[in-house]
Homo-oligomer: A and B are copies of this chain.
Amino acid sequence: METIATNKSHGGTQGVYTHHSEETGTEMTFSVFVPPHETGAKLPVLWYLSGLTCTHENVTEKGEYRQACAEHGIIFVAPDTSPRGSDVPDAEDEFDFGKGAGFYLDASEEPWTKNYRMRSYIEDELPALIAEHFPADMDRQSIMGHSMGGLGALTIGLRNADRFRSVSAFSPIVAPVQAPWGEKAFSRYLGDNRDSWAEYDAVALIEGGARVDHMLVDQGTADDFFAEQLKTGLLALACKKAGIDAAIRMQEGYDHSYYFISTFMAEHVKWHAERLG
């Protein structure tokens, strides 16, 4: 792991790091905020997965999470959204597929299988690196995300309920198998067998029996993607049927941007902190 930059912020250290990923076969860049802490302390970890077109930079610059993470003593990890590099196959001019649109899955179709392994990268490889290099208590993890990253947080959280104490999302895609972004990406990354899509769909996972203990979702009513792509109502319905303790909140007048995310970020961090102990 190589350090690209560190800056003191809110009493802690905001860093950007890069490493060679075995999973994606590429250099991967991510950011980590480590709050002020006692020497030798082990701190809980909050994962933040970003949305389409994003890198680690968007939330690192615009997310307004450091004050709350410093206050609650939480490490905040922000990975990239896909493999990068000139050797990585891409769909040029498509913002919703290829680079910047990894959908946190392991691709099964060519030419995507070699590099597009964001599920294994986020679930296995990066946690091991975080555990090795940062003062992280890996027994205390929670996960959150935005839009495609909200889907990532929900699905990774649902598939690993023993690892993540709480799951939250801003404007998540909740049912990609029923929405254009998801249908496009899954058919190309995963192929035509829709049965294989279910493990990357939050609503399908819940309908299949997956559960999380604590879920918080904020969705803006002025979000242009709400009706066609995000379909928050399907998640609310699935949680209700499944008896999942989910706070799914419609936020009046807010859109899909970081102006929305940053408004409720401190509240999400505090909510996770209460469950991370």
Residues of A near any B CB (own CB < 8 A): 7-11, 14, 61-62, 64, 66-67, 220, 222, 253-255, 257-260, 262-263, 266
The residue in A7, A10, A67, A255 that gathers the most chain B C-beta atoms within 10 A of its C-beta is A7
- Shortest distance between the CB of A177 and any CB in chain B (Å): 30
Q: Looking across the interface, which residue of chain B has its beta carbon closest to that of A221?
A: B8
- Is A8 a contact partner of B67 (Cβ separation < 8 A)? no
- Is B266 a contact partner of A7 (Cβ separation < 8 A)? no
Tell me what chain A mostly uses at the interface: helix, strand, loop, or mixed. Answer: mixed
Count of identical protomers in the assembly: 2
- Shortest distance between the CB of A104 and any CB in chain B (Å): 25
CA distance A274 to B67 in the complex (A): 22
CA distance A11 to B222 in the complex (A): 13
Contact residue among B8, B66, B222, B262 (Cβ-Cβ distance under 8 Å from A66): B262
- Shortest distance between the CB of A37 and any CB in chain B (Å): 15
**Shortest 7 CB-CB distances between A and B: which pairs?**
A9-B259, A7-B259, A8-B253, A10-B263, A8-B254, A64-B64, A61-B62
Q: Looking across the interface, which residue of chain B has its beta carbon closest to that of A65?
A: B64
